[in-house]
Structure 1
Amino acid sequence: MRLGVGVIGTGFMGKTHALAWRNVQAVLGGMMGDVATPDLALLCDAPLDRAQALAAQFGFARATDDWQALVTDPAVDVVSITTPNGLHHRMALAAIAAGKHVWCEKPMALTLAEAEEMAEAARARGVVTLVGYNYLKNPAFTHAQRLIAAGAIGRLVQFRGWVDEDYQADPDLPWSWRAKLAEAGLGALGDIGTHLVSFAHGIMGPITSLIADMQTIHETRPLPDGSGRGVVENEDAASVLLRFANGAQGSLVISRSAWGRKSRLGFEVHGTKGMIVFDQERMNELQIYQNEGPKAEQGFKTILTGPTHPPYGEFCPAPGHQLGFNDLKVIECAALLRAIAGAEPAHPSFDDALRIERVIHAIADSARNGGARIPL
Structure 2
Amino acid sequence: MSEPRLRVGVVGAGRIADFVHLPSLRLLPELCEVVAVASRDPDRARTFAGRWAVPRVHATWQALLDDAGVDAVVVCPPSDLNYAVASAAIEAGKHVLCEKPLAISYPEARGLAEAARGSPRVHMVAFTFRFAAALRYLRRLVAEEHFGEIRHWRMAYFNDGQLDPGAPFTWRHQRARGGAGILADMGSHMIDMARYLLGEITAVSAVSRGYVGERPLAGGPGRGRVETPDACAFVAEFASGVIGTFDLSRAVAGRGGTGRPQYQGVEVHGTEGAAVYELIRPFHLQVSLGRAMARRQHWATVEVPLDLQVYPGSPRNPRTDDPL
TM-score bracket, normalised by the shorter chain, equals: 0.7 to 0.9
Letter in 1 for 2:106: L
| Structure 1 residue 310 corresponds to structure 2 residue 312 | no
1:12 and 2:49 equivalent?
no
Taking structure 2 as the reference length, what is the TM-score of the superposition? 0.87
- Could you say which residue in structure 2 is the equivalent of 1:215? 209
- 2:28 maps to which residue? 24
Q: Distance in 2 between matches of 1:55 and 1:228?
A: 33
Pairwise CA distance, 1:309: 3.1
Measured against aligned partners, the alpha-carbon deviations of 1:305-358 in whole angstroms (never above 9, x if no partner) come to 46353318935427xx9x6xxx5xxx4xxxxxxxxxxxxxxxxxxxxxxxxxxx
Whole-Å separation in 2 of the counterparts to 1:110 and 1:225? 27
The runs of at least 4 aligned residues of structure 1 exceeding 6 Å deviation read 292-298
Write out per-residue CA displacement over residues 54-77 of structure 1, whole angstroms, 9 at most, x where no aligned residue. 334324332222211111211111
> Does the residue aligned with 2:280 lie in a helix, a strand or coil?
helix
Long gaps (5+) in structure 1: 27-36, 332-376
- The letter of the residue matching 1:18 is L
Range that drifts further, 261-270 or 221-230: 221-230
For structure 2, list consecutive stretches of 5 or more residues without a partner in the other structure. 256-260
Aligned-residue Cα RMSD (Å) equals: 2.5
Amino acid at match of 1:303: V
Matched, 1:240 2:234: yes
TM-aligned CA deviation for residue 197 of structure 1 = 0.7
1:282 aligns with 2:281: yes
- Structure with greater contact order relative to length (CA < 8 Å, sep ≥ 6): 1
Task: Write out aligned runs for 1:1-376 (5 A).
Answer: 1-2=3-4, 3-15=6-18, 16-24=20-28, 37-48=31-42, 50-224=44-218, 227-261=221-255, 262-291=261-290, 299-305=298-304, 307-311=306-310, 314-317=316-319, 331=324
Q: Distance in 1 between matches of 2:110 and 2:202?
A: 19
Q: Distance in 1 between matches of 2:85 and 2:287?
A: 42
SS of the counterpart of 2:301? strand
C-alpha distance 202-65 of structure 1, shift in aligned 2 (>3 A):
same
Determine helix, strand or coil for the equivalent of 2:308.
coil
- Per-residue CA deviations over 1:5-32 (Å, capped at 9, x if unaligned) read 1111222321322222232255xxxxxx
1:311 is matched by which residue type in structure 2? V
Native 8 Å contact 1:86 1:182 kept in 2: yes
Structure-2 separation of matches of 1:66 and 1:229:
29
Instruction: Please tell me whether the aligned partners of residues 77 and 100 of structure 1 are also in contact (alpha carbons under 8 angstroms).
Output: yes
Instruction: State how far apart, in whole Å, the 1-side matches of 2:205 and 2:296 are.
Output: 39
Q: 2:129 is paired with a residue of what secondary structure?
A: helix
Amino acid at match of 1:266: G
Partner Cα separation in structure 1 for residue 89 and residue 102 of structure 2: 14
The letter for the 2-side match of 1:272 is T
For the Cα contact (< 8 Å) 2:155–2:265, is it kept in 1?
Answer: yes
Distance across 1 between alignment mates of 2:42 and 2:221: 31
Shift of 1:294: 7.3
The amino acid of 2:269's aligned partner reads: H
Q: In 1, distance between residues paired with 2:36 and 2:168?
A: 33
Superposition TM-score, scaled by structure 1 size: 0.76
The change in CA–CA distance for 1:71 and 1:248 in structure 2 (over 3 A counts) is same
* C-alpha separation in 1, matches of 2:169 and 2:43: 27
Q: Is the 8 A contact 1:165 1:259 kept in 2?
A: yes
SS at match of 1:113: helix
* d(CA) in 1 for partners of 2:14, 2:225: 26
Q: Distance in 1 between matches of 2:79 and 2:296?
A: 50
Aligned counterparts of 1:267 and 1:119: Cα–Cα separation in 2:
28
Give the drift of 1:290: 0.6
SS of aligned partner of 1:116: helix
Matches of 2:14 and 2:222 in 1, distance apart? 28
Asked if 1 retains the 8 angstrom alpha-carbon contact of 2:288 and 2:294, the reply is: no
8 Å CA contact retained: 1:306, 1:317: no
Q: Distance in 2 between matches of 1:143 and 1:228?
A: 50
Q: How many residues align?
A: 312
SS in 1 for 2:26: helix
One-letter identity of the residue aligned with 1:9 = G
Could you give the per-residue CA deviations for residues 273-296 of structure 1, whole angstroms, max 9, x where no partner exists? 000111213333311111167789
